Structure 1
Amino acid sequence: MGSIWVFWALMSAFTTATNDALTKHVLKKHDEYLIAWLRLSCALPFLLPLLFFVPIPVPDQTFFLAYIAAIPLEVAAIVLYVKALKLSPLGLTVPFLSLTPIFLIVVPYAILKETVSITGTIGVVLIGGGSYILNVKGARKGIIEPLRMIVREKGSLCMIAVALIYSLTATLGKVAIEHSSPIFFAVFYTTGLALALGPLALYKNRGSLKKQSLRTALKAAILPGICHSTATISHMIAISLTQVAYMISVKRLSLLIGVIYGYIFFNESNFADKFLGAFIMFTGFVLIVLFR
């Protein structure tokens, strides 16, 4: 296999960051629940045809148990993820996804009793330091002010919850892939998510959704849907070729790309502070996953 997984992980990172930027732009005019559902639905036309080109596995009980457990968690993560993008700047939300590798150490410890090395501890400290620098503007008001800013920044809190959930769904997804195949699971999983999120999206928009507004939202979700399909496929392939924590660490380059997108396309301020904080956080989780 070599290092081919790095290519797929980088592809996932780029398309994920692009998906975030496109979604944030779309959310200026459309409901977050509706867009979360529609971008999944728009991804399906690009994913479903792939089933004609790959062997169809016979899923076993383990596959379905992992699948059933992951779907509701992923739905919650999607809702929180999109809401975070709408509530707060990309530079104060996306970087918190770097916490996922931290949770990927804690979660297995609860199950497998795995411990964190000294280098891993250093990584944790670096991520904490990166979070501080990410909020350095508030730090001028006191050493605990950055923590207060995180509490006040609802989008950041949403993304921290997403990071925790992703540590669970990433692990469950790897289990499901091992009992099926990357492409099959990508298609099956996205279909399940679209079906699960649809009723919620329609319910949230029951009083305001009209045929014309739905058509407009659908058109707006096409590009995010294309990016989502590419990110999903590349994610599943990469995670099938290496350990979950390694793959997620490379994929989290999306947080650095996200900060750049926020500065270029959304005129988000304090670019230098946010970028430095994001980079330090990224360095921390690289230490955790590569040298723990």
Structure 2
Amino acid sequence: MDMTKVSSLTDNQAAGILPMAVQNYLGEVKSIEKLPNLFEDSTHAIWRLQTQDHCYALKKCPAHLHEIKTAVFWRGVRHLWGLDLPNQLGDFAEVYAFLSTYSGLQVPPLIMAQSSDGIHEGWLLNRWMPGLEIKAASPKLIAQLANHLASLHSQTQPYFGSLMGEQFPLSTFGNKVLETLELIASTQSSSLKLTNDEVKSLQNWCPQVSVPVMLDLRWDQFLQSQQGDLTTLVDCDAFVWAPRELVLIQVYKLILAEDMKYFNPVYFQETLETDFIEAPLGTALLKLFESMNCFG
């Protein structure tokens, strides 16, 4: 992966990139590399920091993230799930502890975190994790992803919301989706319109249970070993409690139909519920994900 590299740092250069708490913790930083944005609407800056003994990742989140025109994903996340990322990053130790316990994968150790004060960026400092990017999903990786999701989704609750914030009754979720789609439509020149049947399906929907859901579930959020095993969950920003039905939509988009035979026996213990995917509720939820650019 190409990176912008800053070497032989002066104190002034480091001060312009590193928060004071990070400088104090790390001491002398040998080099800093800025990772390129993966997508046109990427909003965070990620830096690779090398000290004498260790390597770290610093992720910086704009203070006014939700006002950025391209940040439709985070506007939707805040409106629907109450996750106000820059202002809640200081509380993410709870998120990392939860995911470390239940994900079945390695999670980058969180060293320290700071919420935005409304002016300066919020940020996370993690240990850099070794591993390889996933270019193509093998049958083994698909089965291991299914195992990861099954482990996470063994945890359930009767509310939705962010992992560490306010929780809301599941009976209100469908109408909250409608509100969120209206919000996105009001700020985007192009938006996906719902049919009357899709609107009714959301209005009448009363989900029974929520599970931890990674809203931007993609292969680039994980690392694999040299042996091709799924090892590490890298990005932990966008986890929420959400109805399990959203997972069906994600899997439908992420995994080819002919490859579901590697996923189903591990996660569903049955065939993927394609009838739901093609029903008005399924297509409405797909439009939610697509409107928020969840798939990159």
Counting strand residues as a fraction of each chain, which structure ranks higher? 2
Counting helix residues as a fraction of each chain, which structure ranks higher? 1
Normalization by structure 2: what TM-score?
0.27
Normalization by structure 1: what TM-score?
0.27
User: Is the radius of gyration larger for structure 1 or structure 2?
Assistant: 2
